[in-house]
Structure 1
């Protein structure tokens, strides 16, 4: 490499935040607001026609099942002071790819059961000679028996099979209702259902600025309970504080209908709570995350289906916070940004990033290795000369 390595200062990073990062924030907020309104109208319409589904207006702590838990409600609103448009159902994975959890209705009183061993059915109802494969680490079966008194409609063959609630069936019912709702709400010019692989309903939404891809995932929201698969907080862990850890766990987890037979564990509410309170001690963790996310979206893996999304970056940030719990590690923005970038480079090179709550699961297990290698190469070039990219 010829010449001197150019570096950047905290001041240049602050300017970068003010210019590029805030601009992205304004654009994305506007897009999310428009998408949220459209999806709220559609899911409200679906919920009037089919009792399995709720509007996204009722997601998270707004869920109809939570009216009797005022403590949780006040905790959530305290955490989100000043973030009025925030909806716990929405995850912005990239500026043009948004994941929205559509809450299911009528499944109350969940408890984790030891599920029976084998299933021999297919989604269409035919019999198999050998059993359906076991769920992966981040997935599980969901039996009607797990709920105290599931509403009658969950016993229907359109969503259940041999005592299991089957995600692919739930998705099919939702997709049919969504198609009808798009017509009823006269949104055909704004919303188009895309062909998608597997059990995912993906729609293209036209917003005033751009077209975005939105994945709509029927989701069982389980508040105030925690899964045995997530052994967290870990022993002797200093970050987050024990009190914050208890608070995070009280928001529970989700089961998302993203595959044919098995439900995906998701901790998006817990992650939002962690991220929302991440700089209580006055550190620069969130700024650091926003800067690296911007670099990732602009330089290292742009586009709507990148190999690394905001979710991966957030996971990485949590691991680093756990490893460096002290405020003294988060005073210098420059050092914090470089540390996060180096860790990201390591993840891409090794093709390995542990899930934050279910640590034995590698989030990059099925990622495209060529894209990861390409990402590692670009980050390496950045680290050789970071100053040329921040201005």
Structure 2
């Protein structure tokens, strides 16, 4: 609830014209400039992955575009692009899902071990033949090989650097240091006066023999039954979010959900893009990655499930205030459930310091709600 002193004016009701103008002047980005940047980056990525794949075929060259630009949710300059890089020639895999307690955190059920069985003893592999049993990507055990995300990421980064050497681009392309928990190799390229960050994310594409999670939920009315079946066909992927354990990735599924989410002329994407822009301008400078775009996208998915009908999303103001209220509720609890994995996976950090900062962020977001008309119209 918004609280005002006797000296403060009453809250002005948020207007649809204000939101529409904000989209036009603050949210929409130049498609021409973005298209040029995309074409430039894609050529770079194609050249790099072609060299990587030629040296190490375990990393495929048939990349997939991902991220905000591919989902048509980008709200700032085109200086970040994501690409999924498939891992190839994988043998039969085994999966072990547990909850792990490490020194610094509890790993939830979205983290799993991946192993592969050794080749038959009578199989002789040439040194150049792709193999996931080598020590640069796996830890050997008597009856299996443990595919190690940290080793795979190190090998991939080494090959990206080798590719840049072969392309004579080490002066124009800078590969960033990789931090634990980041599933990407990130490099920066210059495009005119701008710098563009490019994430290359190796992933295991839909390796499970059957649908691996308890989704959809009982009596769920969104998305449609047809879409649910298509999502099952797309499958769940794995990415390297931990030195030892892989993590479920729903990037391709989420892109599919967003493709025609407003085919009924709803305002879902507009609502999300406004909230993303507000986050960039108002909350990111102080709170950084405590709240990220993925949190907001997750809130949209939950809201779509709760309000599955077309008329629920026909009004821009109602749609925006709905997402804003849901964000405030999640911040007040310090908990945002993963859309596909449910309540057992909290997308917010659960350590004491982060929870205290989430309380501060809750106050900021609530204050914004109390004066949204003023903020968005100035």
Q: 2:365 aligns with which of 352, 376, 379?
A: 379
Q: 2:54 aligns with which of 24, 42, 48?
A: 48
How do 1:25-174 and structure 2 match up within 5 A? 30-55=36-61, 57-59=62-64, 96-107=79-90, 113=95, 136-145=108-117, 152-162=130-140, 163-174=145-156
| CA distance, structure 1, for counterparts of residue 180 and residue 221 of structure 2 | 40
Cα displacement (A) at 1:59: 3.4
Cα displacement (A) at 1:188: 2.1
Structure 2 equivalent of residue 273 of structure 1: 256
Of 149-158 and 276-285, more deviation after overlay is shown by 149-158
Cα displacement (A) at 1:248: 1.7
Contact 1:217 1:258 in 2 (8 A): no
Q: Does 1:22 align with 2:28?
A: yes
Structure 2 equivalent of residue 126 of structure 1: none
Cα displacement (A) at 1:328: 2.1
Cα displacement (A) at 1:262: 0.6
Change (3 A) 1:341 1:114: closer
Unaligned runs of 5+ in 1: 62-84, 119-129
Q: RMSD between aligned alpha carbons? A: 3.6
Structure 1 equivalent of residue 187 of structure 2: 203
User: TM-score, normalised to structure 2's length?
Assistant: 0.80
Cα displacement (A) at 1:348: 2.4
Post-superposition Cα deviations, 1:169-194, rounded to whole Å, max 9, x if no partner, equal 11111111111112222222332122
Change (3 A) 1:146 1:289: farther
How do 1:344-383 and structure 2 match up within 5 A? 344-359=327-342, 360-365=344-349, 368-369=354-355, 371-383=357-369
Post-superposition Cα deviations, 1:157-210, rounded to whole Å, max 9, x if no partner, equal 221213111111111111111111122222223321222322643333333353
When you count strand as a share of all residues, which structure comes out higher? 2
Change (3 A) 1:185 1:371: farther
Q: Does 1:287 align with 2:270?
A: yes
Cα displacement (A) at 1:274: 0.6
Contact 2:99 2:108 in 1 (8 A): no
| CA distance, structure 2, for counterparts of residue 93 and residue 15 of structure 1 | 14
Change (3 A) 1:185 1:370: farther
Change (3 A) 1:29 1:5: farther
Unaligned runs of 5+ in 2: none
Post-superposition Cα deviations, 1:236-284, rounded to whole Å, max 9, x if no partner, equal 0011111111112211121112221111110101000111121232221
SS in 2 for 1:390: helix
| CA distance, structure 2, for counterparts of residue 257 and residue 191 of structure 1 | 23
How do 1:221-300 and structure 2 match up within 5 A? 221-222=205-206, 227-228=211-212, 230-300=213-283
Change (3 A) 1:108 1:290: farther
| CA distance, structure 1, for counterparts of residue 200 and residue 357 of structure 2 | 25
Report how many residues are paired. 350
Q: 1:343 aligns with which of 302, 307, 326?
A: 326
Q: 1:7 aligns with which of 13, 29, 33?
A: 13
| CA distance, structure 2, for counterparts of residue 376 and residue 26 of structure 1 | 37
| CA distance, structure 1, for counterparts of residue 73 and residue 274 of structure 2 | 18
Post-superposition Cα deviations, 1:303-333, rounded to whole Å, max 9, x if no partner, equal 9953222221111100010011122211211
SS in 2 for 1:5: coil
